[in-house]
Amino acid sequence: MTTTETPASTSDAAPSPGMSDLIGSGQEGTVVDQIRSWLQRVRQGDMGALPAVAGFVVLSILFSLLSQFFFTPLNFANLLTQAATLVMLAMALVFVILLGEIDLSAGVTSGVAAALFVVLSNPSGFNLNWILALGVSLLFGVATGTFIGFFVSRIGVPSFVVTLGLFLGFQGLTLTIIGAGGLYRVQTPEIKAIMNSNMPVWAGWVMLAIIIGVSAATSFWDRYRRTRAGVPNRNITFVWIKLGVILVLGGTVIGVLSINRSQSIIPISGVPIVVPITLFILWVGTFVLDRTRFGRYIYAIGGNAEAARRAGVKVVMIRWTAFIVCSSLAVVAGIFSASKVGSVDAAAGRDIVLSGVAAAVVGGVSLFGGRGRLLHAAIGALVIAVITNGLGLLNLPAGVNFLVTGGVLILAATVDALSRVRAGGTLIRA
């Protein structure tokens, strides 16, 4: 790490008197110094979602060249809604993957929840109020997470085994709820709207304004607290860069989605409703993981559970809660899926869980625990969605999609393994 510069001359917050230049905080230095030390971290293997972002860009360019339909507003909106379910499920899985655990039942949990929802809310089913039905589905998620968490954290059964058991069992549960060969249409307009309706164009811009406002507020709040404590702040240029990137990227996305993308007379424009929902959950989850004890302890347990225990962390409760969060977010993914597909059948959610794990890994979340962020999983899910979307446009056989996705996953895992070696880990070739 390059942090030998004297903080006083280069940071805009005055360091406290007697602040030694012997121990830095990594926030000192000019913009150039900071970028240089970041590049050094990247070279040492701390790459985060960088490979996934690069993959997303490369694949997007490739498909744009191969298909003239790829880079159109309509396909862009399609891509977002196609990706949303996987993004949600991958984010759910991050909470347990960070612990070094796995939830193989997240997919079928989402399936059972969706089945519960349609059967409870449909006129041909129990004709319940849709909010009540949604509440029951979420409760089912909480109960499932509680069940898994009990066996994993209290009894000590490996999560792989417990959730594999549920993976098998819940397929039967969905089958029982829906009925063999059955299929329920989603008839709740509010749920159908998630994937199939768009916000008014102005609401998209308001959303961007809120995102920038919240981002700026947290950045300056953090800087205020650092200044108050008397530690140096990173050069303020980085706040402007960050806000600028959000403005340009977000502006481009919303701009594209504001164009009429309809192929018929009725115009279609605006940001799909699923986008703000997903972004909100991403923001809350990231806030919890980065800034609260619960989040920090998830990382600590993933890094060294014994150290966390000795430090007084209630390891059992944190693990347990993480499984509840995972299953609950999986329910949201199930509702997304039901909205997208428009119906729920007996096989709902059966095939998606491994794609979710793959998305997290492609995004740079380590299966060994302790490393990764929600945003990484979301980006990984977008990469996989781009592959599916692009290959679909090229009219390639479905088998190719699986082959390419699998190849990308192995590639991502290889990049992760090699970067860990560079970061000081050991490569055991046996």
Q: Which of residues 271-310 bind other proteins (CB under 8 A)?
A: 287, 291-293, 296, 299-300, 302-304, 306-308, 310
Q: Does 26 bind other proteins (CB under 8 A)?
A: yes
Nearer to other proteins, 141 or 363 (CB): 363
What residues contact residue 7 under an 8 Å CB cut-off, 6+ apart?
15, 19, 21, 24, 25, 28, 232
Question: In 3-state terms, what secondary structure has residue 185?
Answer: strand
The interaxial angle of helices 353-362 and 374-393, nearest 10 deg, is 110
DSSP H or E segment with residue 343: strand 343-345
Number of residues in contact with other proteins under rule CB under 8 A: 43
Q: Are 319 and 101 in contact (CB under 8 A)?
A: yes
340 binds other proteins (CB under 8 A): no
Amino acid found at 387 = I
Instruction: Based on the shown chain and the rule CB under 8 A, indicate whether residue 311 belongs to the binding site for other proteins.
Output: yes
Bridge partner list, 343: 185
Q: Which of residues 100-139 bind other proteins (CB under 8 A)?
A: none
Q: b or e along 221-230 (b: 16 or more beta carbons within 10 Å of the residue's beta carbon)?
A: eebeebbeee
Distance of CA 191 to the CA centre of its chain: 21
Instruction: Work out whether 225 is an interface residue with other proteins (CB under 8 A).
Output: yes
Q: Smallest distance, Å, CB 406 to other proteins? A: 28
128 or 288: whose CB is closer to other proteins?
288
Tell me the one-letter amino acid at 163: T
Interface mask toward other proteins for 157-196; x: CB under 8 A: ----------------------------------------
Q: How near is the Cβ of 319 to other proteins at its closest, in Å?
A: 15
1 contacts other proteins (rule: CB under 8 A):
yes
In the complex, minimum distance from the CB of residue 61 to other proteins, in angstroms, rounded to a whole number: 34
Find, among 229, 77, 105, the residue nearest to 164 by Cα: 105
The answer to the question of residue 313 lying near other proteins (CB under 8 A) is yes
> d(Cα 100, Cα 111) in Å, to the nearest integer?
24
For other proteins, which stretch binds (CB under 8 A), given 116-124, 222-230, 318-326, 389-397? 222-230
How far apart CA 226 and CA 199 sit, in angstroms, is: 38
Residue 336 CA to residue 357 CA, distance in Å, equals 18
Residue 429 interacts with other proteins (CB under 8 A): yes or no: no
Measure the CA–CA gap between 211 and 359, rounded to whole angstroms. Answer: 24
Nearer to other proteins among residue 22 and residue 430 (C-beta): 22
Q: Lay out the site mask for other proteins across 46-75 (x = CB under 8 A, - = otherwise).
A: x-----------------------------
Tell me the C-alpha distance between 232 and 26, whole Å.
Answer: 9
Q: Is 24 in the site for other proteins (CB under 8 A)?
A: yes
Name residues contacting other proteins, limited to 343-402 (CB under 8 A): 370-371
57: which 2 tokens? 């860009």
**Does position 230 bind other proteins by CB under 8 A?**
yes
Binding site for other proteins (CB under 8 A): 1, 3-4, 16, 20, 22-27, 44, 46, 222, 225-231, 287, 291-293, 296, 299-300, 302-304, 306-308, 310-313, 370-371, 423-425
